[in-house]
Amino acid sequence: MLFNSLEFLVFFPIVLMGYFFIPFKFRWIFLLISSYYFYICWDPIFVVLIIGSTLTDYFCSIKIAASKSKIIRKRLLYVSLIINLGLLFFFKYFNFFNDSIRDVVTLLGGTYSISNHDFKLPVGISFYTFQTLGYTIDVYKKRIDAEKKLLRFALYVTYFPQLVAGPIERAKNLIPQLRTKYEFNYYRVRNGLVLMLWGFVKKMVIADRIAEYTSEIFYNPGVYKGVIIWIANFFFYIQIYCDFSGYSDIAIGAAGIMGVKLMRNFRQPFFAQTTQEFWSRWHISLTTWFRDYLYVFLGGRRNGQFRMILSIIIVFLINGLWHGATWNFIIFGGVHGLFIVLYVLLRDTIKKIKNKIGLLKYNIVDSVLNISVVSLVFISTSPFFMTKTFSDALVIIRDSFSISISNPTTIINIFKFPVDFWISVLAILVLYYVEYVAEYVGLENWFKKIPKFLMWVLLLIGVSSIVFFGKWDALDFIYFQF
Amino acid sequence: MRKDKILKYSIYILGVFCLCIFIFIRVKYGLQFIQNAPFCHDGGDLYRQNYITDFREPLPPFSNINQKNKYELPWYTNSPKHPSFDSADIVCVGDSYFFFHWLTTFPERLQDETGEKVYYYNGYNPMQPFMNAAYKKGRKKVLIYEMGERGLMHYLIQRMPLNPEPEKKTNEDDSFCLLLSKNDIERKYNRVLQRGMFIADLYEKIATFKFRTFEYINYKTPVYCLNPSWLFVKESVNNSESSFFYQHTDKEIQTLCDNLKRIQTKLKEEYNMELVFMPIPSKISIYHSLVFENEEYNNFLPRLYKGLDILQIPYVDLYHSFVKCSDTLYYRTDTHWNEKGITIAINKTIEKLTEIGYNNDKANNECQ
């Protein structure tokens, strides 16, 4: 069940009605059933995996919490890691590594007979695997107590607003909230609905509209050249942000209506001034997961600069691999890691140069320059994210540097309806304005300052834009594939 | 406090409303009740892809309405006039041109016009009804095999299985388990949105506004004209092999003919059936000048006819008859033929049956 489907528009009010109507002590059971139904709507068979993952981590964490022996605790942690990562590896990465090994063996003149499996990728497996793993590690590290009620733990794993595409919640944040009684609150419900509305606008009006252009360019390598590709790269930057942050907004808004505050997943990444900062604003729940559970484990900053650089590179390569089992994603992650390392190494030099040429005196110019560079890093690596193969990405990158003057109507006509180009441009401007307000004023403050009628006008515009300009073809969210 | 209550009760009302829709679209006839109409096959109805008033063309009432149950239209796999495969004189196999709900169907008309027992099977593989009925070779009969022009490159370019598995009957609709079913749920919700009793008018107004202001139209009907309003289906005008623009190679034409020959031989040798092939021209093949000023028809059907002549496969040449006719033979906003179109098709079929000596064969059969 996609958030941007009619099915969800019917499902969610039913859940809300039940949630507020049912006495508190049964609410979480109702939510658990709803969450399983939500997942079953995709593919009932894969619910077995979630149940398996839930049982594994529940029993492992209970035993870890009960055991005083360090060896037993460690072994139980390994059991959890092996089962969870094993399932993730099998469904998501087996074919990729199998193909890669086959290529190497064939290159060396050998024969390789292990064939790929043809199972579908279970929706949201990367998200809930990381969520349950984080929980078990936290119990092992004694950061949290193990949840004793199996079904409540099951709800933590499957809580439907964030089940299939995050935010990857931490147990210490979510589980206590699932135990807490919430009364109906007008402001909380209103804010949640507004956030959901904004999420729908981002997904259905902006991301899915721009997707027409980017798909045409990235799925037809070799056809388009020059400016057309750079526009596609920029559009993709906007598309993936609106797609994923739109999903996160809907998830956070939906949970918020029910009294659960999910962690923030995006914090105006367009205004990041370094690649490092960009990743602290982009998919925050994943980045902080890697920081807390992998970067620190690898040594992080504690063991000198070389170890830190190595940790960054490894974390970003795995970050890329998390996004998808292709070399494209690994390269995408690697390039971003490399830019972070470069910045860490050259930070002082860059500062000196800027100082020398007097750039630091002009804060705005410096900021705009920094933001542009960070955006350019993402924009120029877009082909790796969007194309299907490595060679397709190379063709797109090569063609992006070919000098060809495109007629503006050619660019506009890549959209099925020319008016969509102008709507996209307008929508991007609005998006940047909202992001600007959020970054420098704060949306809540801004909402408090504007007259009440204006707020209603804005809400009406939001709803109308979905009705009149929303793409109702229920396109998948890009991050579902991860 | 007052705001709290208003919002809370609004959520309850909305929740109950959604729960009703949730249940209704899952129980038998629930969706039909919401839209107050039968759930029929209308894949070719291009107006219903859009709901834009400018393209609303009055269609006649359903020809085969069920008097006992207004919500159920037969998606039949055999002709209601003659449901027995074994005792039929003529077997019709084909898709929507043969069972188009808005007209008395082709098999029924053929039965009325010729007085023969006509059996109809809805499908693309002409061998399927033989397998379903475990039919054994009997007296000589005729099989009329219909296929839309845009389906030819899809279904006949590959070799069709000559001995397909018999089909099993499904009783999916009878089960209350549909409550948990996820079959086509989104499509059903879309139907509620587009045709629900209280919302259909609003939906049409919005769709019409979007079309008139921004020229938004469903991607399934990208080519259209206004005054008079015509819609053309995507597959016939895009860059696929089914398209008006596709230039078929000689090899492709030959392959199509060879595959039909294979079917003809099998039918004749194994079941004593004479094949009459009836490719139906796409609407765009006849009326392309309405939307494309400088484009000429790719001549697909005439080229195919030549190949069929060489291999001595009998066919009903509708293309040349349709081109010559000055009347409108298709619904302007549906992919199918209209009353005039189907009448020409019936007449041409009867001509062809006479030409291949069907009546003489029948007389011989009866004498024996």
Tens of pLDDT along chain A (482 residues) come to: 888 888 999 999 999 999 999 998 889 899 999 999 999 888 788 899 999 999 999 999 999 999 888 899 999 999 999 999 999 899 888 988 898 889 888 888 888 888 888 888 888 888 899 999 999 999 998 999 999 999 999 999 999 998 878 789 999 999 999 888 888 888 899 989 999 999 999 999 999 999 989 988 888 888 888 888 899 999 999 999 999 999 999 999 999 999 999 999 999 999 998 888 999 999 999 999 988 888 878 777 777 888 888 888 998 898 888 888 888 889 989 999 998 998 888 888 888 888 888 877 778 888 888 899 989 988 888 888 888 888 888 898 888 888 776 677 788 878 888 889 999 999 999 999 999 999 888 888 888 888 888 988 999 999 999 999 988 775 666 655 55
Residue A348 amino acid letter: D
Query: Shortest Cα distance from A245 to chain B (angstroms)?
Result: 24
Whether residues A467 and B206 touch (CB distance < 8 A) is answered with yes
pLDDT value of position A257: 93
Residues of B in contact with A17 (CB under 8 A): 11-12, 14-16, 18-19
The parts of chain B modelled with pLDDT lower than 50 are 172, 174-177, 366-368
Tell me which of B9, B19, B34 to substitute to probe the interface with A (most A C-beta atoms closer than 10 Å). B19
Query: How close, in Å, is residue A185 to chain B by CA atoms?
Result: 6
Q: What is the per-residue pLDDT for B40?
A: 60
Closest CA–CA distance from residue A416 to any residue of chain B (Å) = 8
Q: Using beta carbons and an 8 Å cutoff, which residues of A are at the interface with B?
A: 5-7, 9-11, 13-14, 16-18, 20-21, 40-41, 184-186, 189-190, 416-417, 419, 467-468, 474
Give the dihedral of Cα atoms B235, B237, B240, B246; nearest 10 deg. 140
Q: Measured between CB atoms, which of A13, A190, A416 is closest to B14?
A: A13
Q: Which residues of A touch B189 (CB under 8 A)?
A: 5-7, 9-10
- Please list every residue in chain A whose beta carbon sits closer than 8 Å to the beta carbon of residue B237: none
Q: What's the token pair of residue A204?
A: 């259905």
Pairs of residues, one from chain A and one from chain B, whose beta carbons lie less than 8 Å apart? 69
Residue in A149, A165, A162 with CA at minimum distance from that of residue A54: A149
Report the residue from A10, A189, A474 with minimal CB separation from B22.
A10
ipTM given for this complex: 0.83
Residues in contact with B70: Cβ distance below 8 Å, sequence separation at least 6, in sequence order: B38
Q: How far away is chain B from the Cα of A10, in angstroms, using its nearest Cα?
A: 5
Contacts with B319 (C-beta within 8 Å, 6 or more apart), sequence order = B279, B281, B285, B286, B301, B302, B305
**Nearest chain A CA: its distance from B198 CA (Å):** 16
Residue A415 with chain B: CB contacts under 8 Å: none
Give me the sign of the Cα torsion angle A15, A20, A23, A29.
positive
Show residues of chain A in contact with B19, CB under 8 Å. Answer: 14, 17
- Chain A partners within 8 Å of B182 (Cβ): 40-41
Out of B16, B186, B219, name the one closest to residue A474 (CB). B186
Write out chain A residues lying below 8 Å of B14, CB-based: 13, 16-17
Tell whether the torsion through CA atoms of A133, A339, A382 and A378 is positive or negative: positive
- Hey, are the CB atoms on A7 and B7 less than 8 Å from each other? no
Q: Residue B170: what residue type?
A: T
B18 contacts in chain A (CB < 8 Å): 9-11, 13-14, 17
Which residues in chain B have Cβ-Cβ distances shorter than 8 Å to A184?
4, 7-8
Q: What pLDDT, on the 0 to 100 scale, is given for residue B359?
A: 67
Dihedral, CA of residue A67, residue A69, residue A71 and residue A75, to nearest 10: -10
A323 catalytic residue (yes or no): yes
Selecting among A117, A283, A323, A336, the annotated active-site residue is A323
Task: Count Cβ atoms within 10 A of the Cβ of residue B324 and give its class: 0-12 exposed, 13-18 middle, 19 or more buried.
Answer: exposed
Kindly give, in sequence order, each residue whose CB lies less than 8 Å from that of residue A60, ignoring residues fewer than 6 positions away.
A76, A77, A79, A80, A136
CA dist., res. A244 & res. A252, Å (int): 12
Which member of A5, A189, A419 has the closest CB to residue B186? A5
Which tokens belong to A126? 């990367």
DSSP character string of A26-83: HHHHHHHHHHHHHHHTT-GGGHHHHHHHHHHHHHHHHHHHH---HHHHHHHHHHHHHH
> Would you call B18 and A11 a contact, using CB atoms and an 8 Å cutoff?
yes
Q: Which residue among A6, A18, A468 places its CB closest to the CB of B190?
A: A6
| C-alpha closest to that of A336 among A290, A401, A301, A389 | A290
How confident is the model at residue B26, as a pLDDT? 83
Q: How far apart are CA A142 and CA A171, in angstroms?
A: 12
Out of B11, B182, B189, the one facing A10 most closely (by C-beta) is B189
Please name the amino acid found at residue B207.
A
Chain B residues whose C-beta sits inside 8 Å of any chain A C-beta: 3-4, 7-8, 11-12, 14-19, 21-22, 182, 185-186, 189-190, 192-193, 206, 209-210, 214-216, 219, 222
| Residue of chain A whose Cα is closest to the Cα of B208 | A468
Q: Do B19 and A14 touch (CB under 8 A)?
A: yes
In this structure, what are the phi and psi dihedrals at residue B285, rounded to the nearest 5 degrees? -65, -30
Give the distance from residue A22's alpha carbon to the nearest chain B alpha carbon, in angstroms. 12
- Subunit contact B189:A21, Cβ cutoff 8 A: no
- Residue in A closest to B206 by C-alpha: A468
Residues B118 and B90: their CA atoms lie apart, in Å, by 5
Select from B2, B3, B6, B7 the residue whose CB has the most chain A CBs within 10 Å, as the one to mutate to test that interface.
B7
Chain A: closest CA distance from residue B211 (Å)? 10
pLDDT digits (tens, 9 = 90+) for B153-166: 999 998 888 888 88
Interface test with chain B among A21, A186, A471, by most B beta carbons within 10 Å: A186
Look at the block and give the residue holding tokens 């997943």: A265
pLDDT of residue B167: 81
Tell me whether residues B7 and A190 touch, CB distance under 8 A: yes
- Residue B64: the pLDDT is 59
Its pTM stands at 0.84
> Which residue out of A4, A5, A6, A39 would a mutagenesis test of the B interface target, given it has the greatest number of B Cβ atoms within 10 Å?
A6
If you search the block for the tokens 């990743």, which residue do you land on?
A: A279
Contact A468 B215 (CB under 8 A): no
B18 with A5: Cβ contact below 8 A: no
Sign of the four-CA dihedral A336, A339, A345, A349: negative
Chain B closest CA to A474's CA: distance in Å?
A: 9
**Cα dihedral A87→A90→A91→A96 (10° resolution):** 150
The residues with which A385 forms a beta bridge, in sequence order, are none
Closest C-alpha among B362, B366, B357 to residue B140: B362
**Neighbour-count burial for A294-314, b at 16+ CB within 10 Å, e otherwise:** ebeebeeeeeeeeebbebbbb
Q: Do A474 and B210 touch (CB under 8 A)?
A: no
CB contact under 8 A, A18 and B222: no
Chain A residues whose beta carbon lies within 8 Å of the beta carbon of residue B12: 17, 20-21
**Residues B283, B236: contact at Cβ < 8 Å?**
yes
Inspect the interface and report whether the beta carbons of A416 and B222 lie closer than 8 Å. yes
Q: In Å, how far is B286's CA from the nearest CA of chain A?
A: 26
Strand, coil or helix: what is B280? strand
